[in-house]
């Protein structure tokens, strides 16, 4: 089995259910708040573990109860957390999430230990990068650390997958050259390219990214599916699985994880995207981040019930 490494963030998610997302100056009431393990990196690692991958997590937490919750969740999912670094004098990252009645979310991240994941931490864990086949990144840890680690992974011949969230104001152009598969959503696509209404100009926006050095681009479009531009087979739209969304918090992270595990098994990008669509479809029908992620057995049963072809 190929080995997958996730380098990225670990947060404690504090999720508040609201009727609608508040506007500036508005105070609203909520009757429910939950605390769960989260963070884009940890969510992806958790999903990989639940889907049966050989996965390790490299990131940073504080020496606090929030880290204990995170480690328990990842370990229960089958993730190797031996490379999660405990930082003194800084808290574990926290994400403040509001989820409205339509299942859409807004997120504010307090970076905490994620903000001090360093180049030295990468150097101290070079062995795990060397032994991995696929390395996945997001952008909730320092950009210089991501660029440094991605360059190393690329030079070592690893497949590099980047989920470019959150998109920084000054996206480092050199990072594009280290990425094999870039997986933005439509909002992130617009921010990366400067193209307004990117969904109406998908070909133009994706071509803009490929000119920067990215090999393959996969744009997730929510209920409208996925736009895939494969350097080998070309571009196409893959429709979404029709479900009623309850909470979209971990949908993108689960999609990235499902994509990676299928690629690790030798599937094509298209096959991987179809499978990832089914995984994220299950996720959005459940509340929570890591708690909403299905196991491989659950996904298999879901696909069989829907008579899907992968």
> Is 117 assigned to a binding site?
no
> Is 13 assigned to a binding site?
yes
Give the Cβ contact number of residue 118 at 10 Å: 17
Out of 54, 121, 216, 253, which one is annotated catalytic?
253
Paired with 56 in beta bridges are 5, 80
> Is 75 assigned to a binding site?
no
Residue 104 a catalytic site member:
no
Cis peptide before 166 (omega within 30 of 0): yes
CA distance 277 to 49: 18
Whose structure tokens read 């499978």? 275
> Is 100 assigned to a binding site?
no
> Is 285 assigned to a binding site?
no
> Is 12 assigned to a binding site?
yes
> Is 288 assigned to a binding site?
yes
Q: What are the φ and ψ backbone dihedral angles of 170, each rounded to 5 degrees?
A: -115, 85
Whose structure tokens read 């571009």? 235
CA 118 to chain CA centroid, nearest Å: 20
> Is 19 assigned to a binding site?
no
> Is 199 assigned to a binding site?
no
> Is 222 assigned to a binding site?
yes
Question: For 137, how many CA atoms within 13 A lie in the half-sphere containing its CB?
Answer: 32
Whose structure tokens read 């660029």? 147
Give the Cβ contact number of residue 224 at 10 Å: 13
> Is 30 assigned to a binding site?
no
CA distances 166 to 111, 116, 146, 199, Å, are 12, 17, 13, 19
> Is 42 assigned to a binding site?
yes
Report the catalytic residues.
253
Q: Give the annotated binding-site residues for K(+).
A: 247, 249, 283, 286, 288, 292
Q: Give the annotated binding-site residues for substrate.
A: 11-13, 39-43, 140, 253
Q: Give the annotated binding-site residues.
A: 11-13, 39-43, 140, 185, 220-225, 247, 249, 252-253, 277, 283, 286, 288, 292
Q: Give the annotated binding-site residues for ATP.
A: 185, 220-225, 252-253, 277
């Amino acid at each position: 089995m190929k080995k997958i490494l996730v380098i990225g963030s670990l947060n404690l998610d504090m999720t508040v259910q609201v009727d609608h997302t508040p506007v500036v100056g508005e105070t609203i009431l909520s009757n429910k708040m939950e605390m769960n393990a989260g963070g884009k990196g940890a969510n992806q690692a958790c999903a990989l573990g639940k889907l049966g991958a050989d996965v390790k997590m490299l990131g940073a937490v504080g020496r606090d109860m929030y880290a204990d919750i995170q480690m328990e969740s990842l370990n229960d999912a089958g993730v190797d957390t031996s490379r999660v670094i405990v930082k003194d004098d800084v808290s574990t990252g926290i994400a403040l999430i509001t989820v409205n009645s339509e299942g859409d979310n807004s997120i504010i991240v307090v970076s905490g230990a994620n903000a001090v994941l360093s180049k030295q931490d990468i150097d101290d864990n070079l062995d795990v990068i060397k032994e991995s086949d696929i390395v996945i990144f997001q952008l909730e840890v320092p950009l210089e650390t991501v660029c440094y680690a991605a360059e190393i992974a690329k030079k070592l011949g690893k497949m590099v997958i980047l989920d470019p969230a959150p998109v920084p104001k000054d996206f480092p152009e050199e990072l594009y050259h280290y990425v094999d598969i870039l997986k933005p959503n439509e909002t992130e696509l617009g921010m990366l390219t400067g193209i307004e209404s990117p969904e109406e100009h998908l070909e133009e926006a994706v071509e803009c990214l490929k000119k920067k050095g990215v090999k393959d681009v996969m744009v997730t479009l929510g209920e409208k599916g996925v736009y895939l531009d494969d350097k080998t087979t070309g571009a196409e739209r893959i429709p979404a699985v029709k479900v009623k969304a309850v909470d979209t918090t971990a949908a993108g992270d689960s999609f990235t994880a499902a994509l990676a595990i299928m690629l690790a098994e030798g599937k094509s990008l298209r096959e991987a995207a179809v499978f990832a669509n089914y995984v994220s479809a299950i996720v959005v029908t459940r509340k929570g981040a890591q708690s909403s992620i299905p196991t491989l057995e659950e996904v298999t049963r879901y696909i069989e019930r829907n008579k899907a072809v992968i």
